[in-house]
């Protein structure tokens, strides 16, 4: 079929992968631009891990076309392996291996590696330098795995459920580090089941459901497309507010005593605000309740966030 366009970090066309009779991925297609943080979200078992592991040449696809940095991860795995970084959803290290030894070892496996002491520092592992893998907490292991994925200065890094096991503060720290990684020029493919993480970090997101991509776009696009209605609230005692229905995008005005709710689409807050001010009303609590990616996710997959 088509060749991957240059500049595309990842190109996937009609990827299919079965395990026996289970179709894990049934014709997924997507493209990731160089320098992008690309999110993959979807319910458990929807084929996210299978897809990214096919991209890393760790699983053999049944059909479809896959290019990563212009290479076929299966046929050209050797050429590719030092250019990509992998944080796998499931993996382990020898129990008695120490943190610094793991970083040192993985750094030695690649022709161009970062100074792993910096990574130790960045991922807040300096104190755990001499701790055995078995003695690390879940969050520390996870941070180590992400650091290991970055030690070879990859051009593209695959992070599969990076934030699992991290406490809220560590998650936010990890987000900042991921942004830094991108600033260094690395393309990032981020599989996550945290909607706030996807919304916060990703330039574009592919939504998986039952092994296919059911939606693809920037977080605001997805929210607008699948959970597009916003809700503007304020309190006011004016009797007649029916003229609010004439605001562009407004669809429904409801009130209960002084509490008013306007539902609709588009930049609703601005229009409602302008109309209120034009009528000499300036409520102090005028606010919009924006739909979130989580609302969109539920609309797209018919489920709550996993």
Partner 1 sequence: MRGVGKLAWIETKLFVREPLALLFAFAFPFFMLFVLAGVFGNDVDPTDEENLRVWRGVGPTDYYISTYVGLVMASAGLITLPLRLASYRETGVLRRFRAAGVPLGVVLGAQVLVAIGMAIIGAAGIVVAGRAAYGAQMPESWPLVLVGSAMGLAMFAAIGLLLGAILPTSRAVQGAGLTLFIVMMMISGSGPPREVLTTVMQTVSDGLPLTHLNLLVQDAWLGFGWNTGQALVVVAITVVAGFLAVRFFRWE
Ligand X SMILES: Nc1ncnc2c1ncn2[C@@H]1O[C@H](COP(=O)(O)OP(=O)(O)O)[C@@H](O)[C@H]1O
Contact flag: residue 231 with partner 1 (CB under 8 A)? no
Q: Are 203 and 37 in contact (CB under 8 A)?
A: yes
Contact flag: residue 86 with partner 1 (CB under 8 A)? yes
Contact flag: residue 21 with ligand X (CB under 6 A)? no
Q: Which long-range contacts (CB under 8 A, 24 or more apart) does 165-173 make?
A: 165/137, 165/138, 165/139, 165/141, 166/139, 166/142, 167/139, 170/124, 170/139, 170/143, 171/197, 173/124
Element (H, E) at 271: helix 268-278
**CA 169, 170, 171 angle in degrees (round to 5)?**
90
Alpha-carbon dihedral angle through residues 254, 260, 263, 266, given to the nearest 10 degrees = 150
Contact flag: residue 106 with partner 1 (CB under 8 A)? yes
Measured from the CB of residue 49, what is the shortest distance to partner 1 in angstroms?
12
**Residue 125 CB-density burial (10 A; 0-12 exposed, 13-18 middle, 19+ buried):** buried
Q: How many CB atoms lie within 10 A of CB 152?
A: 22
Choice between 49 and 142, CB closer to ligand X:
49
Select from 26, 27, 35, 45 the one that contacts ligand X (CB under 6 A): 45
Choice between 19 and 243, CB closer to ligand X:
19
Contact flag: residue 60 with ligand X (CB under 6 A)? no
Contact flag: residue 49 with Mg ion (CB under 5 A)? yes
Cα–chain center distance at 170: 16
Residue span binding partner 1 (CB under 8 A) among the ranges 103-111, 177-185, 198-206, 262-270 = 103-111
Rounded Cα gap, residues 48 and 207, in angstroms:
9
Measured from the CB of residue 105, what is the shortest distance to partner 1 in angstroms?
6
Choice between 210 and 231, CB closer to ligand X:
210
Could you say which of Mg ion, ligand X, partner 1, none residue 285 binds, taking C-beta under 5 to 8 angstroms by partner kind?
none
Q: What one-character DSSP code corresponds to residue 146?
A: H
Select from 48, 141, 204, 209 the one that contacts ligand X (CB under 6 A): 48
Structure-block tokens of residue 272: 């409602």
> Which residues 52-71 are close enough to bind partner 1 by CB under 8 A?
56, 58
Could you say which of ligand X, partner 1, Mg ion, none residue 290 binds, taking C-beta under 5 to 8 angstroms by partner kind?
none
Rounded Cα gap, residues 82 and 77, in angstroms:
9
Q: How many helices (H) and strands (E) does the chain have?
A: 10, 13
> Which residues 146-185 are close enough to bind partner 1 by CB under 8 A?
148, 152
Contact flag: residue 44 with ligand X (CB under 6 A)? yes
Rounded Cα gap, residues 193 and 216, in angstroms:
16
Measured from the CB of residue 42, what is the shortest distance to Mg ion in angstroms?
9
Contact flag: residue 97 with partner 1 (CB under 8 A)? yes
Select from 104, 124, 200, 261 the one that contacts partner 1 (CB under 8 A): 104
**Residue whose tokens read 């009130």:** 255
Contacts to partner 1 by CB under 8 A: 56, 58, 81-82, 86, 88, 90-94, 96-97, 101, 104-106, 108-110, 132, 148, 152
Contacts to ligand X by CB under 6 A: 19, 22, 24, 42, 44-50
């Amino acid at each position: 079929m088509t060749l991957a366009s240059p500049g595309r970090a990842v190109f996937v066309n009609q990827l299919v992968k079965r395990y026996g009779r289970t179709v894990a991925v049934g014709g997924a297609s997507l493209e990731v631009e160089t320098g992008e943080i690309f999110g993959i979200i979807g319910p458990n078992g929807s084929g996210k891990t299978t897809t990214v592991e096919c991209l890393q040449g760790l699983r053999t696809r049944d059909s479809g076309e896959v290019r990563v940095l212009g290479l076929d991860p299966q046929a050209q795995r050797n050429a590719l392996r030092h250019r990509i970084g992998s944080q796998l959803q499931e993996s382990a290290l020898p129990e008695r291996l120490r943190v610094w030894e793991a970083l040192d070892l993985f750094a030695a496996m690649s022709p161009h590696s970062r100074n792993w002491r910096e990574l130790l520092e960045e991922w807040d592992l300096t104190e755990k330098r001499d701790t055995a893998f078995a003695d690390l907490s879940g969050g520390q292991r996870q941070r180590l795995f992400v650091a290991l994925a970055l030690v070879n200065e990859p051009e593209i890094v695959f992070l599969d459920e990076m934030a699992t096991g991290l406490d809220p503060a560590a998650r936010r720290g990890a987000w900042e580090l991921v942004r830094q990684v991108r600033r260094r020029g690395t393309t990032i493919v981020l599989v996550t089941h945290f909607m706030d993480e996807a919304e916060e970090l990703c330039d574009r997101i592919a939504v998986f459901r039952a092994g296919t991509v059911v939606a693809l776009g920037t977080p605001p696009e997805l929210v607008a497309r699948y959970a597009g209605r916003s809700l503007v609230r304020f309190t006011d005692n004016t009797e007649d507010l029916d003229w609010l229905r004439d605001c562009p995008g407004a669809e429904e005005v409801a009130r209960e005593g002084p509490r008013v709710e306007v539902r609709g689409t588009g930049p609703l807050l601005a229009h409602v605000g302008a109309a209120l001010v034009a009528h000499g009303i300036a409520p102090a609590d005028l606010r919009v309740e924006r739909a979130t990616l989580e609302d969109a996710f539920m609309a797209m997959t018919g489920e709550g966030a996993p």
